[in-house]
């Protein structure tokens, strides 16, 4: 049986609209709800608005109109509520955003530093923190690489460190912006399946932007299809019809994305 908390969306966008300072519309007014324990894929071609929407969910891109409401913090507007929400949000990026000259373990520990006030993060992290970081590396199958420099790891391994760093934060939400765009198809599906498995095991909702339709179909509970900054589809992967795909990608691009 669902409890009250899981019936309340973790995040709601209310008429959220993003116009960039140069006048480009990044997102047309969107009303979306993100629930616990749901893997949501933002799908669409380059320039569709996936990254804009994803980043708006923790106000990395400011709202021009409308707002983002978070279950625990209300409308994101005050500096305090944004900081708390970001601390509970694990971000995974296309280019990993790892520090190459640091070890995998040190990079994962960086995820923990963000959990403390600045004065506290000056001090070395405790043995307990290091054990937790190792445990996170273990979950992505990289414990034996803990002391390897990140720039000596493969692209897929680096992204697994990125996942470990995100979960080391003990987030209540994961946002992944094109996490496999720089990986080959076999590594991509391994990384995405791993991300899905960990989020499901921990009950963490994830919002993942992808441009590959097949990957979206394999890992999503829900797909939000975007085109020209507009939400064109919101439903289960099985409900994504050919005509909707055509609408999202256009006839020609569809061939490249499948």
Residues that bind ligand ADP (CB under 6 A): 20, 22, 24, 26, 44, 46-52, 209, 229
| Count of C-beta atoms within a 10 Å radius of residue 131 | 10
Let me know if 79 is exposed, middle or buried by CB neighbors in 10 A (0-12, 13-18, 19+): exposed
Q: Which of 131, 128, 198, 190 is nearest to 163 (CA)?
A: 198
CB closer to ligand ADP out of 55 and 165: 55
Residues 6+ apart with CB under 8 A from 188: 180, 212, 215
Instruction: State the nearest-atom distance from the C-beta of 53 to ligand ADP, in Å.
Output: 7
Beta-bridge partners for 164: none
Nearer to ligand ADP, 19 or 84 (CB): 19
Smaller CB separation from ligand ADP, 49 or 205: 49
Q: Which is nearer to ligand ADP, 47 or 237 (CB)?
A: 47
In this chain, which residue has its C-beta nearest to ligand ADP? 51
**Closest distance to ligand ADP from the beta carbon of 75 (Å):** 22
Q: How far is the CB of 17 from ligand ADP (least distance, A)?
A: 12
Q: Which is nearer to ligand ADP, 20 or 144 (CB)?
A: 20
Smallest distance, ligand ADP to C-beta of residue 78, A: 24
CB of 169 to ligand ADP, least distance (A): 23
Cβ neighbours of 138 (radius 10 Å): 13
Q: Which is nearer to ligand ADP, 172 or 209 (CB)?
A: 209
CA distances from 225 to 26, 32, 66, 126, 251 (A): 14, 12, 20, 43, 15
Shortest distance in whole angstroms from residue 150 CB to ligand ADP: 25
Helix boundaries (H) for the chain: 4-7, 50-56, 79-87, 104-113, 118-121, 127-139, 155-168, 185-202, 213-219, 242-249, 251-257
């Amino acid at each position: 049986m669902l409890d009250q908390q899981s019936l309340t969306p973790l995040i709601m966008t209310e008429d959220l609209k993003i116009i960039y300072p140069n006048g480009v519309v990044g997102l047309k007014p969107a009303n979306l709800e993100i629930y616990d324990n749901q893997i949501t894929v933002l799908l669409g071609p380059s320039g569709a608005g996936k990254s804009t929407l994803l980043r708006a969910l923790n106000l990395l891109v400011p709202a021009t109109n409308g707002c983002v409401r978070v279950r625990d913090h209300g409308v994101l507007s005050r500096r305090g509520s944004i900081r708390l929400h970001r601390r509970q949000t694990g971000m995974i990026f296309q280019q990993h955003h790892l520090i190459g000259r640091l070890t995998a373990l040190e990079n994962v520990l960086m995820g923990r530093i963000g959990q403390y006030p600045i004065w506290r993060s000056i001090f070395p992290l405790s043995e307990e923190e290091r054990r937790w970081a190792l445990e996170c590396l273990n979950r992505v199958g990289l414990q034996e690489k803990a002391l390897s420099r990140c720039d000596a790891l493969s692209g897929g391994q680096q992204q697994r460190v990125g996942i470990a760093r995100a979960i080391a934060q003990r987030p209540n939400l994961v946002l992944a912006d094109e996490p496999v765009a720089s990986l080959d198809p076999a590594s991509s599906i391994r990384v995405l399946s791993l991300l899905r498995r960990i989020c499901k095991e921990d009950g963490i909702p994830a919002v993942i932007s992808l441009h590959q339709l097949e990957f979206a179909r394999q890992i999503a509970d829900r797909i939000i299809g975007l085109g020209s900054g507009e939400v064109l589809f919101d439903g289960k992967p099985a409900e994504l019809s050919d005509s909707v795909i055509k609408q999202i990608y256009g006839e020609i691009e569809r061939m490249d994305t499948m």
